A and B are shown apart, each in its own frame.
Chain A
Amino acid sequence: MKLSLRIWRQKDRNAPGRFVTYPVDGVMPEMSFLEMLDVLNEDLQTRGEEPVAFEHDCREGICGSCGFLIDGVPHGPRRHTTVCQLHMRFFKDGDALTLEPWRARAFPLVRDLVVDRSAFDRIIQAGGYITAPTGSAPDANAILVPKEAADTAFDAAACIGCGACVASCPNAAAMLFTAAKVAHLNSLPQGQPERDERTLNMVAAMGREVFGTCSNHGECEAVCPKGIPLEFIAALNRDVIRAAFRRRREPLHVLGAPHHPAHEDVRESNSAQKESST
């Protein structure tokens, strides 16, 4: 197969970015999308051009490193599939594809298709854990966890932190990511003591990291490679209300609070794009 790739090239955050079009030849259907990019990069390097930077590591769809937009869709066209697990048999000879990095203010660009997703770590720091100092745990079977709760917790905990949900959201919201962690921990008996605190703190952290607000588009669920369902967002909203009533804390700086950036501001602007080809 022969493809034409229009790829976002940007040396660093401060340099201007632009699309560059590259032809790729000799693409085999059993290659993964990233192996196809390996071929392009080998080719670029032998020609003396710098390879396209993209993040990847396990190439098994579990580490969450990889991810970029293929024709505007995070991880490309196949449902429940990270880009490292997307194989070229789903494309056809002559396809022209556009690859760009996640675009959200909370994910500043590093280089080419690589962005900085450390905002996710800071949301976890705000409460995405159960306090359990090493050595203090009771016997594992002393905590009974109903199968349904364990299964729900697992479904939520399957999130790989890739950021596709943010990239697909018109508001660049991190609701699905945050809701998944809250649902994981809040549905377990071990997670109950810190439940309200966790919920409020993580939602507040989301705002601090300049993610947008959720307006229930559902794009995140559609592109999530792990199939994290939208219902966890509904559960998070319920937990926020529950926490607000139970905690009687300071006024909440959470949902829809004015310090959130307006929707149009949280998308990185693409207006300065320039086209060129090699």
Chain B
Amino acid sequence: MSALPAETHATPKPEPVLDARIPAGPIEQKWDRCRFEMKLVNPANRRKHTIIIVGSGLAGAAAAATLGEQGYHVRCFTFHDTPRRAHSIAAQGGINAAKNYRNDGDSVSRLFKDTIKGGDFRAREANAYRLAQVSVDIIDQCVAQGVPFARDYGGLLETRSFGGVQVERTFYARGQTGQQLLLGAYQALEQQIAAGTVTMHPRTEMLDLVVVDGKARGIVTRDVQTGAIESHVADVVVLATGGYSNVFYLSTNAKASNCTAIWRAHRRGALFGNPCFTQIHPTCIPQSGEHQSKLTLMSESLRNDGRVWVPKKKGDMRRPGDIPESERDYYLERRYPSFGNLVPRDVASRAAKEVCDEGRGVGPGGHGVYLDFADAIGRLGLDDVRAKYGNLFEIYERITGDDAYSVPMRIYPAPHYTMGGLWVDYHLMSTIPGLFVAGEANFSDQGANRLGASALMQGLSDGYFILPATVPDYVATAAVDKVDASHPAFREAEEDVHRRTHALLKGDGRRTVDSFHRDLGRLMWDECGMARSDAGLRRALEKIPELRQEFHENVRVLGTGEELNQSLEKAGRVADFLELAELMCIDALHRTESCGGHFRVESQTTEGEARRDDANFCYSAAWEWTGSGQPPTLHKEPLQFEHVHLTQRSYK
């Protein structure tokens, strides 16, 4: 790839417009209509069709269990030792559903509208509506599986509120909702494994996608214990491999979370949607030093009762308790009186960055703001606060050594979620027929910013309900030919994987994989993080290819490819991050508007809020790989807003 996208070259190619296959009819009826129009597969024939699912998080495990239940021959792959380790497990706060059990004015329409508005009008209306519709079924499904959601004394489900909304629609299991939902899906998956409908392939990493006659027909994997490179043939391939926040090195993602599966699919022809749409989460524990290996999130639910503030004076070094009320700036409550501390994540993160940039940040380096529970403890009592947030306070204490019941927490934004991902149509199929993408790995229903407690909702919606309807339709209509692993396309992909593995191992460079990853992360955080500028992005686009070249010349990976080799695994992932980073910057440079998590400093209101440019950018950008060293081609999916009027977001 060269530095600039085709679009900005002197003679732009005509941009093909993408067909998202959105069903006709009123928005309330689109999903029903779609389901009715889809073709079915006779129960007796289902086991003749093999479906590969890569990833075993919420989306992957739910899809594998459900398609297995339906009778398909499912093969599920994860690089972890067991499906239960997937990073969905770390989600803390909760899952949204438009149940309106609180009778506080919630409805499917309101969840839909909140999602579109929260995503700053860069999500597809039909998908967001479907997500809101399906949300109610997800809660039913999870309760039936035994997910221990919080209950009131009458035995009914409890809910709480989350950022960007004014109703209490978030269901939760203490601060470990992701864990409990994933264990529910994992248990359903293990049941299917025992029943023989799903074959599990743990410790097996997908390293390439195989496309035969224009259709996704399988994958090439590496057994991380033995190093064996193998081909797997299927009728359908589903990628549910999560997001790519680890491009920033320091993020709230698990250490092994990576972009390899979707990046390899992109290189095989799947368009990449909105790669620059990344979410920086406002409440994370600040970095403590250079050795830091990851950042830890403090659930957004804390903003229900915690108050965010910084000193009014610059460089105020007093201890928080010594700063009187009158000298504190509760800046979110001041700037956004109607949503207060519960503004959406992008707004809260930017506001924190601004006060820190002004020199009013707290803690080492001034990279932090207070999240204070003194008022909540006064109002609710210590026991109540402990019951609601106890495990989060524990995590905080464990990492920082501070007791947040007596001193305010210090928090700072950190990369957390990627709204971008492989472009998919309404059926969650990518631009490669037979390749479906679910959960965070697709460019999703979240637009340019995701609301809290919506990732779990989307992962389970895709896994339990959408794919089990759309994948069979593809199976029924696609008429795939018989192929086996001796097909030249499989041989070629295997060769390619061998070649890349050997190239990483043969070098006798001097630098470790992590040192490159750190450099890339710092560069991306500085130039493509919370605030992006034309000049900064151009700088990054110069530096990334240099870093990539140095990586391939000077990285040192010890050991062999025929054993458990954690450095080799990391090296392959970092090599792909070094390519994806460039596409992110290209996308960020081309989108000269600000929207959601994508903040271009050139496009802001006089009050410093993100200013969209609907005349020029009301579309999803989908980038096509055109070969190494070639500029990617931009495709557009125009977005129409018929039900939620395009307005400047306001949380004031």
Binding site for B on A (CB under 8 A): 11-12, 28, 30-32, 34-35, 38-39, 42, 45-46, 48-51, 53, 55-65, 80-81, 85, 87, 89, 110-111, 114, 116-118, 120-121, 124-126, 128-141, 143-147, 150-151, 153-154, 157-158, 160-161, 184-185, 188, 190-191
User: Nearest CB to that of A31 among chain B residues?
Assistant: B291
Query: Shortest CB–CB separation between residue B133 and chain A, in angstroms?
Result: 14
B87 touches A58 (CB 8 A): yes
Q: Which residues of B contact A53 (CB under 8 A)?
A: 564, 566
Query: Shortest CB–CB separation between residue A143 and chain B, in angstroms?
Result: 6
A140 touches B146 (CB 8 A): no
Query: Shortest CB–CB separation between residue A41 and chain B, in angstroms?
Result: 8
Alpha-carbon distance between A185 and B291 when the two chains are bound, in angstroms: 41
Binding site for A on B (CB under 8 A): 62, 65-66, 69, 80-87, 89-90, 99, 101, 137, 139-146, 148-157, 173-174, 176, 179-180, 183, 186-188, 190-191, 193-194, 200, 202, 225, 254-256, 288-289, 291-294, 296-297, 394-395, 398-399, 401, 464-465, 468, 510, 512, 514-515, 556, 558-559, 563-564, 566-567
Alpha-carbon distance between A86 and B288 when the two chains are bound, in angstroms: 15
> Looking at the complex, which one of A87, A129, A141 makes contact with B190 (CB distance below 8 Å)?
A129
Alpha-carbon distance between A121 and B174 when the two chains are bound, in angstroms: 25
A50 touches B559 (CB 8 A): yes
CB-CB under 8 A for A188 and B146, given A137-B141, A140-B139: yes
> Looking at the complex, which one of A57, A63, A87, A139 makes contact with B398 (CB distance below 8 Å)?
A87
Q: Which residues of A contact B143 (CB under 8 A)?
A: 137, 140, 143, 190
Query: Shortest CB–CB separation between residue B374 and chain A, in angstroms?
Result: 25
B563 touches A57 (CB 8 A): no
Q: Which residues of A contact B66 (CB under 8 A)?
A: 134
Alpha-carbon distance between A158 and B183 when the two chains are bound, in angstroms: 10
A116 touches B292 (CB 8 A): no
B254 touches A125 (CB 8 A): no
Query: Shortest CB–CB separation between residue B86 and chain A, in angstroms?
Result: 8
Alpha-carbon distance between A81 and B87 when the two chains are bound, in angstroms: 19
CB-CB under 8 A for A12 and B563, given A61-B398, A124-B190, A190-B143: yes
Q: Which residues of A contact B558 (CB under 8 A)?
A: 45, 48-51
B291 touches A110 (CB 8 A): no
User: Nearest CB to that of A188 among chain B residues?
Assistant: B146
CB-CB under 8 A for A125 and B193, given A132-B141, A150-B149: yes
Interchain residue pairs with CB less than 8 A apart (6) = A38-B293, A89-B401, A135-B141, A153-B148, A154-B174, A184-B146
A38 touches B291 (CB 8 A): yes
Q: Which residues of B contact A157 (CB under 8 A)?
A: 148, 173, 180, 183
Q: Which residues of B contact A135 (CB under 8 A)?
A: 137, 141, 464-465
Query: Shortest CB–CB separation between residue B114 and chain A, in angstroms?
Result: 20
B90 touches A150 (CB 8 A): no
CB-CB under 8 A for A140 and B99, given A59-B255, A134-B464: yes
Q: Which residues of A contact B255 (CB under 8 A)?
A: 56-59
Alpha-carbon distance between A61 and B69 when the two chains are bound, in angstroms: 32
> Looking at the complex, which one of A46, A63, A117, A147 makes contact with B510 (CB distance below 8 Å)?
A46
Closest 4 CB pairs of A and B: A144-B155, A137-B144, A129-B187, A132-B144
Alpha-carbon distance between A164 and B99 when the two chains are bound, in angstroms: 39
A125 touches B190 (CB 8 A): yes
CB-CB under 8 A for A62 and B157, given A137-B141, A143-B143, A190-B144: no
A188 touches B148 (CB 8 A): yes
Q: Which residues of B contact A158 (CB under 8 A)?
A: 176, 179
A140 touches B140 (CB 8 A): yes
Q: Which residues of A contact B101 (CB under 8 A)?
A: 141
CB-CB under 8 A for A137 and B140, given A55-B81, A81-B398, A188-B146: yes
> Looking at the complex, which one of A87, A153, A161 makes contact with B399 (CB distance below 8 Å)?
A87
A57 touches B87 (CB 8 A): yes
> Looking at the complex, which one of A62, A110, A146 makes contact with B151 (CB distance below 8 Å)?
A146
A154 touches B173 (CB 8 A): yes
> Looking at the complex, which one of A129, A141, A184 makes contact with B188 (CB distance below 8 Å)?
A129
A59 touches B148 (CB 8 A): no
Query: Shortest CB–CB separation between residue B624 and chain A, in angstroms?
Result: 33
CB-CB under 8 A for A132 and B293, given A45-B512, A61-B395, A65-B85: no
Query: Shortest CB–CB separation between residue A104 and chain B, in angstroms?
Result: 15
Most buried by B among A39, A59, A81, A136: A59
